[in-house]
Amino acid sequence: MADEALALLAPLHGARPPAPDWYLALAAATPETGFVELDGVPIEYFTWGQIGAPGLLLVHGSRAHARWWGPVAPLLAQAGYRVAAMSFSGHGGSGWRENYDMGQQGREMFAAATAAGLDAGGARFFIGAHSFGGLTAVNAVPGHEAALAGMFLVDSALTPQHLDPTDSFSRKLRAYSSQDEALARFRLAPPQGCDNLYLLDEIARQALVEENGVWRWRFDPLYFDNLLRGDAWGILATLTTRLAIIYGERSILFDGERLTAFIEQAPAGTPFIGIPEAGHHVMLDQPLALTAAIRTLLACWRQDIASVKTAA
């Protein structure tokens, strides 16, 4: 697609696109906001649902933020879960660091989960991770299996190095004279279209902050330059916690070769669940189908956990 065609919000000139009633009802219920400090940096999280219900931590991808889970998290809370979505350092409303590493961001995940009450009373909780967030989530699991009830990855392109997508992100801290100008420049990465402009518009607005009369994106543009990555691909094969892979059937990150390699590397029996008519950004393309898949998956895992407890 041409660059102009990817600027999906530009024709709106800052106006909010129309949204369906089901989404407007969800958006009217504002989640609770919290921060937990880790190594001197505040980590942002949002919560839905009651403490004491089964816990679910949702993490975002690169250059994104917690509110990417906006249409999905409250629907999962309505199904009886205590849901928290957090922003990694260098993203969203969280603070920035001079250097980042996935071990530290794994600790951010568990700190946010505890602050949000997902592990209240020593309960195990679930993790759901989108895109690049899946690499951090996989790196965080070893040594913490006892705290987890299961983990699902949403279109997380865990691949061997020779199939790893090229990082083409800009390193510039871009500034705009108005929010409307910034919204007109918003693009999804990897590039794709999006029919649900009301969702695209909301995550774009949540990604912006005004400082000294100018608008900028909240993420640290040097994040990848200062990031120490772990070995998510190698760790994947050794995972013992319950694991499932959800992906968009139109995602450019799950072409035949990458998907085949992923299936071969994942632990035996790992379910791979394709969401029809969804690209990489599954929660924007098919939020209701994704929610239904997650609800079904977690219900099956909870039944399995209950059966194990009964047998013991």
Lowest mean pLDDT: which of 5-9, 10-14, 30-34? 5-9
Q: What pTM does this model have?
A: 0.95
Q: Is the pLDDT of residue 250 over 90?
A: yes
Q: Tokens 């995602």 sit at which residue?
A: 251
**Residue 3: per-residue pLDDT:** 62
**Residue 162: per-residue pLDDT:** 46
User: Using CA atoms, how far apart are residues 5 and 248, in angstroms rounded to an integer?
Assistant: 21
- pLDDT, tens digit, for every residue of 86-128? 999 999 999 999 999 999 999 999 999 999 999 999 999 999 9
What band does 29 get if pLDDT is binned at 50, 70 and 90? confident
Q: Domains of the chain, with CATH numbers?
A: 30-165+229-311 (3.40.50.1820)
User: Using CA atoms, how far apart are residues 145 and 124, in angstroms rounded to an integer?
Assistant: 9
CA dist 15 → 37, 62, 179, 180, 270 (Å): 36, 26, 11, 8, 43
* CA nearest to 186, candidates 92, 290, 63, 20: 63
